């Protein structure tokens, strides 16, 4: 039977889950820096990765277009607001897949309310997965833009983040290896599921700080926060030391290549004694825990895992924020997250030395979490397919695209005519609203009176059910009994005492009955009066209705759209609902259409690439023997988005021949499919009141 570890207390499952970390803790393995030859083997794949993630024009344009669109809509919503880009998109340290971080600066605003307002605006604009986080220190709205495919975070008044972005941008400018190493580390962390503060691992920002710390320690870059001239500034009412010394330089800087720096990065953090000190790039090196005042608080991650205790102690992998120095960037860690990171750092360190490939080191842990990312190799699924199969795929996708386009157009037509109808109806109702108001008051009166009539009737009927005689008979009987009781007595026919008593009690009973009957009769009178009033009000209502019909009729005659339409509020509301439904469907279909267009573009690009490669190939065949060297080799490696954008812009720049083709197509009367690229302008035509 497998048992719990005596040293760590980990269960057999956890020992397996964190096997690299467990082996390291139990001294079953020892780590070392890899040999130079081994490191060299990583150079090419790392350079390829860095190339793939270099800033490309298409992405910059996509971001710019989205920024302009958001800026316009946000500034029109919040007066005196300004939108600023921060995070990796502004510092130059982004992966292709990185979030687009935007900060909305709005002076004196209720941030939570503002976030809610923004989120409903974004939903209205058709953004996907709109999510708000209002309980964080800085409230955020997260969403993805279906047109550009960008994942966006908008935070409010996140002023300090603008300063730390400036610091990272300054480091990025200092030496190209900063960007290179950040790219490699973020890529690895992303694929090994170690880079998500929301799920208990470190943020992308924290990984970047770890890289900067490593490069300062390795003497690759100087500490930019070191200077005799300090910049102290007030940010949101708190003073911070925001010194960034862009003139700082190093003597005898380390010239190591990125592969070597990556190997030492993994070694540094895999072997780090996290409990001993605190990482501080501000200080240019570690601070002791005593200096910093951050205790390695219990319970540890392992204790939490072993005892199912949910709350872990603070500061286990302490990383000081460069400006907000009371903030520990590891505050987001959860026990599994911490163990996972430590385990993976050791795994990467081992694999770097044992001849594994970069691809296997970065083997994706959770495919579904990265589904939204562009694949590094855009044509990965087409490489082993024959030309005819790809041509078939292209034809099929084009046919789907055309039929979907028709559908979208039909839906748009339907939506516009429904909007027109609702607007026309609303016009009618507004113009006859005076009449409708009186109408409404009368109807309300009818309802109240009808309730009263019902009540009177029930009281009357209840009394009547207790009285056995109608009132006139009671009165007759009363006078008869009264007469009998009061007439002069015939000495020969004196009634017995018993009989006398009977007459008296009958008389009293008749009197009580008479009082009740009078009450019933009064109720009946009120009942009749109310019924009559009700009748006359109903007659008035009919007059209003005729007036209203006349007014409506006149307008209907002027509006052909409304012929045969019964105009009332309910009908208008149902038209509005239909518009909303249509809007939703149109949005969904447009997203599908956008995907199909991209797929057609991709398949066409692959076919063009294949045919140009075949041409080169046959050219080389013809020249074989005459020139064996110096001919450029066709690119057999993975094609990336960067390649594709180059390829497409080369095609765009083909110039005159392209122009001729365009003119011919126009002359031939072909239907224009429109610009196949993502166009924010199209969204601009979507109006809220629609
Ligand atoms: P991210 O963690 O998203 O970093 O934080 P990033 O470098 O932009 O990551 P990718 O490229 O999208 O994956 C974005 C910005 O938020 C601020 C920093 O300014 C960071 O650049 N931030 C983040 C903080 O100030 N503190 C934190 O703890 C996290």
pLDDT tens digits for range 208-233? 999 999 999 999 999 999 999 999 99
686 falls within a domain: no
- Region class of 219: left (phi > 0), else alpha (psi between -120 and 50), else beta: left
| Rounded average pLDDT over 513-517 | 88
Residue range 502-507: mean pLDDT, rounded: 84
Q: Give the residue whose CA is nearest to atom 17 of ligand 1.
A: 161
**Whether residues 90 and 61 fall in one domain:** yes
Q: Give a yes or no: residue 558 inside a domain.
A: yes
Q: In DSSP terms, which residues pair with 156 in a beta bridge?
A: 104
Residues with CB under 6 Å of ligand 1 are 86-88, 93-95, 98-99, 101, 161, 164-165, 203-205, 208, 329
Is residue 223 a part of any domain in this protein?
Answer: yes
Residues 295 and 401 in one domain: no
522 compared with 56, residue with greater pLDDT:
522
For residue 205, being part of any structural domain is answered with yes
pLDDT at position 519 over 50? yes
Four-CA torsion 286, 292, 298, 301, nearest 10 degrees: -30
| Whether residues 452 and 349 fall in one domain | no
Regarding whether 450 and 361 lie in a shared domain, the answer is no
Which is it for strands 277-278 and 287-288: parallel, antiparallel or unpaired? Answer: antiparallel
d(CA 274, CA 482) in angstroms, rounded, equals 114
Percent of the chain with pLDDT over 70: 81
Residue 116 has a CB neighbour count (10 Å cut-off) of 15
The reply to whether 329 and 466 lie within a common domain is no
473: tokens are: 């008979």
pLDDT at 544: 73
Let me know if residue 121 belongs to a domain.
no
For atom 19 of ligand 1, the residue with the nearest CA is 161
- Ligand 1 centroid to Cα of residue 457, in Å, is 75
Question: Separation of 19 CA from ligand 1 center, angstroms?
Answer: 30
Residue nearest to atom 28 of ligand 1 (CA): 329
What does DSSP say about strands 82-86 and 100-105: parallel, antiparallel, or unpaired?
A: antiparallel
Whichever domain contains 271, its CATH number is: 1.10.1410.10
Residue 14 banded pLDDT, cuts 50, 70, 90:
very high
Q: Are residues 410 and 452 in the same domain?
A: no
Ligand 1 midpoint to CA 351 (Å): 28
Compute, in angstroms, the gap from residue 205 CA to the centroid of ligand 1: 4
Q: 257 C-alpha to center of ligand 1: Å?
A: 26
Task: Give the three-state DSSP class for 157.
Answer: coil
Q: Are residues 82 and 196 in the same domain?
A: yes
Atom of ligand 1 at shortest range from CA of 87: 21
Least confident of 149-163, 285-299, 490-504, 522-536: 490-504
Name the residue with the closest Cα to ligand 1, atom 10.
Answer: 98
Query: Cα–Cα distance between 172 and 94 in angstroms, integer?
Result: 11
Same-domain status, 37 and 74: yes
- Looking at 167-171, 374-378, 663-667, which range is the least confident one? 663-667
Cβ count near 323 (within 10 Å): 21
The alpha-carbon radius of gyration of the chain (Å, integer) is: 42
CA dihedral sign of residues 620, 623, 624, 627: negative
Q: Do 529 and 560 fall within a single domain?
A: yes
- 411-456: pLDDT as tens digits: 888 888 778 777 767 766 666 666 667 776 776 777 788 788 888 9
How sure is the predictor about 674, in pLDDT bands with cuts at 50, 70 and 90? very low
Confidence of residue 589 (pLDDT cuts 50, 70, 90): confident
**Ligand 1: nearest atom to the Cα of 182:** 7
Domain identity same for 345 and 456: no
Let me know how long the chain is. Answer: 690
Residue 388 has pLDDT above 70, yes or no: yes
Q: Say what the pTM is.
A: 0.64
In this predicted structure, the answer to whether residue 567 has a pLDDT above a threshold of 50 is yes
User: Ligand 1 mean position to 103 CA, how many Å?
Assistant: 12
Q: Which domain holds residue 523?
A: 429-487+496-569
Where is 261: in which H helix or E strand?
helix 258-270
Which residue of 54, 55, 86, 88 sits with most ligand 1 atoms within 8 Å of its CB, as the best mutation to test the pocket?
A: 88
Residue 585: the pLDDT is 84
Neighbours of 392 (CB within 10 A): 13
Mean pLDDT of the chain: 83
Residues 6 or more apart whose CB falls under 8 angstroms from that of 641 comprise 52, 56, 58, 59, 96, 374, 378
Whether residues 516 and 471 fall in one domain: yes
pLDDT given at position 540: 76
What interhelical angle do 258-270 and 36-52 show, nearest 10? 110
Determine the Cα–Cα distance for residues 637 and 52; give it in Å rounded to an integer: 12
> Which residue has better confidence, 377 or 100?
100
- For 608-647, what is each residue's pLDDT tens digit? 888 877 777 676 666 554 443 333 333 434 444 444 444 4
Which has more confidence, 244 or 419?
244
SS3 assignment, position 172: helix
Q: How many domains does the chain have?
A: 3
Neighbours of 332 (CB within 10 A): 16
125 in any annotated domain: no
Residue 552 has pLDDT above 80, yes or no: no
Does residue 681 or residue 499 have the better pLDDT? 499
In a domain, 542, yes or no: yes
Alpha-carbon span 244 to 225, nearest angstrom: 5
Question: 409 and 454 share a domain?
Answer: no
Ligand 1 centre from 87 Cα, in Å?
5
Question: Ligand 1 centroid vs 147 CA: distance in angstroms?
Answer: 24
646 within some domain: no
Q: Are strands 140-144 and 128-133 parallel, antiparallel or unpaired?
A: antiparallel
Q: What is the pLDDT of residues 153-193, one digit of tens each?
A: 999 999 999 999 999 999 999 999 999 999 999 999 999 99
Amino acid 249: pLDDT: 94
pLDDT digits (tens, 9 = 90+) for 267-325: 999 999 999 999 999 999 999 999 999 999 999 999 999 997 778 999 999 999 999 99
On the question of pLDDT at 370 being above 70, the answer is yes
Higher pLDDT, 248 or 430: 248
pLDDT number for residue 612: 77
In ligand 1, which atom is closest to the CA atom of 99?
12
């Amino acid at each position: 039977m497998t048992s719990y570890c005596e040293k760590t207390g980990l269960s057999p499952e956890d020992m397996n889950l964190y096997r690299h970390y467990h082996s390291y803790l139990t001294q079953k393995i020892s780590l070392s820096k890899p040999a130079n030859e081994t490191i060299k083997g990583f150079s090419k794949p790392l350079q390829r990765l860095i190339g793939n993630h270099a800033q490309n024009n298409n992405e910059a344009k996509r971001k710019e277009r989205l920024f302009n669109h958001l800026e316009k809509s946000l500034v029109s919503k919040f007066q005196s607001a300004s939108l600023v880009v921060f995070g990796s998109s502004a510092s130059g340290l982004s992966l292709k897949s990185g979030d687009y971080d935007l900060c909305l600066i709005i002076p004196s605003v209720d941030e939570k309310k503002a976030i809610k307002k923004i989120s409903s605006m974004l939903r209205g604009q058709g953004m996907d997965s709109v999510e708000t986080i209002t309980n964080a220190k800085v409230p955020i709205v997260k969403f993805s833009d279906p047109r550009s495919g960008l994942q966006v975070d908008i935070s409010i008044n996140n002023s300090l983040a603008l300063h730390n972005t400036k610091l990272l941008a300054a480091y990025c400018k200092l030496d190209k290896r900063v960007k290179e190493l950040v790219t490699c580390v973020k890529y690895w962390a992303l694929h090994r599921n170690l880079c998500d503060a929301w799920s208990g691992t470190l943020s992308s920002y924290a990984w970047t700080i770890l890289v900067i710390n490593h490069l300062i320690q390795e003497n690759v870059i100087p500490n930019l926060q070191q200077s005799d001239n300090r910049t102290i500034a007030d940010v949101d009412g708190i003073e911070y030391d925001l010194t960034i010394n862009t003139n700082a330089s190093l003597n005898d800087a380390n010239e190591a290549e990125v592969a070597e720096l990556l190997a030492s990065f993994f070694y540094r953090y895999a072997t780090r004694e996290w409990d001993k000190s605190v990482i501080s790039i501000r200080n240019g090196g570690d601070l002791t825990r005593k200096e910093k005042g951050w205790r390695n608080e219990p319970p540890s991650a392992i204790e939490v895992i072993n005892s199912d205790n949910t709350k872990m102690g603070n500061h286990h992998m302490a990383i000081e924020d460069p400006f907000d120095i009371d903030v520990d960037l590891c505050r987001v860690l959860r026990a599994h997250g911490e163990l996972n990171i430590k385990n993976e750092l050791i795994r990467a360190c081992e694999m770097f030395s044992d001849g594994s490939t970069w691809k296997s080191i970065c083997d994706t842990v959770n495919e579904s979490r990265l589904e939204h990312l562009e694949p590094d190799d855009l044509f990965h699924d087409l490489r082993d397919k024959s030309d005819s199969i790809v041509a078939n795929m292209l034809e099929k996708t084009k046919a789907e695209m055309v039929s979907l386009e028709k559908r979208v157009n039909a839906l748009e037509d339907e939506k516009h005519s429904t909007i027109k109808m609702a607007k026309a109806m609303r016009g009618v109702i507004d113009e006859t609203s005076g009449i409708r108001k009186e109408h409404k008051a009368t109807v309300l009166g009818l309802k109240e009176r009808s309730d009263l009539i019902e009540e009177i009737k029930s009281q009357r009927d209840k009394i009547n059910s207790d009285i056995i005689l109608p009132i006139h008979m009671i009165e007759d009987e009363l006078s008869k009994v009264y007469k009998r009781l009061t007439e002069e007595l015939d000495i020969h026919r004196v009634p017995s005492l018993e009989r006398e008593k009977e007459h008296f009690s009958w008389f009293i009973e008749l009197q009580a009955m008479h009082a009740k009957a009078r009450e019933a009769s009064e109720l009946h009178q009120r009942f009749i009066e109310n019924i009559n009033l009700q009748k006359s009000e109903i007659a008035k209502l009919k007059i209003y209705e005729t007036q209203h019909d006349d007014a409506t009729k006149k307008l209907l005659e002027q509006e052909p759209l409304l012929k045969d339409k019964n105009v009332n509020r309910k009908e208008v509301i149902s038209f509005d609902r239909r518009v909303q439904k249509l809007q939703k469907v149109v949005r969904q279909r447009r997203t599908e259409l956008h995907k199909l267009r991209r797929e057609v573009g991709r398949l066409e690009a692959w076919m063009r690439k294949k045919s140009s490669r075949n041409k080169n190939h046959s050219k080389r065949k013809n020249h074989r023997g005459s020139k064996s060297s110096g001919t450029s080799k066709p690119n057999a490696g993975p094609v990336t988005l960067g390649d594709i954008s180059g390829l497409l812009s080369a095609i765009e720049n083909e110039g005159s021949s392209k122009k001729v083709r365009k003119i011919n197509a126009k002359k031939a009367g072909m239907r224009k499919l429109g610009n196949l690229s993502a166009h924010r302008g199209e969204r601009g035509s979507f109006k809220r009141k629609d």
